[in-house]
Amino acid sequence: MDSLDPTSPAALAPAVAIQRPPRIWKFWGTALWGLFVFAAMFVGQIAVVAWFVLQQEGPIDVASAVHVLGGGLTISLSVIMGLPAVLAALWLAIRLSRTPFADYLALRGTTWTNLLIGIVALAVLVLGWDQLSRATGRDATPGS
């Protein structure tokens, strides 16, 4: 039994952890995970709407739900609450692929030059869109 002898080469060899290769989802796997992420976003948004409908006084019917859905607070909170659900669904898919989160999403730092170019481009785009809206006679901001 060489492995029990402390001087044998088998006992001195370091244990090497065997890593499994990352899982690749391919087309159908990616499509199904995309549907799962969409469903998670939908559930996160509907939870906010349901909470507002249940908090309203009076009977629960379609008219009260439509009234709640027209509110700016309901719309903004439903969008905000949909995002953590999307993040959780993406985390699950990425975790099961055995790839680090930042590597899977290619989250890398950028240079200050790229950041400045992005900010300037965004400002030019927003101001240009506003001017185009005014030139065509439309309101730049919606009524809600």
pTM of the model: 0.62
Q: 33-42 contacts: CB < 8 A, separation 24 or more?
A: 33/89, 33/93, 36/89, 36/93, 37/86, 37/89, 37/90, 37/93, 39/89, 40/85, 40/86, 40/88, 40/89, 41/82, 41/83, 41/85, 41/86, 41/89, 42/82
pLDDT tens by residue, 67-126:
788 888 888 999 999 999 999 999 999 999 999 989 888 888 999 999 999 999 999 999
pLDDT at 127: 94
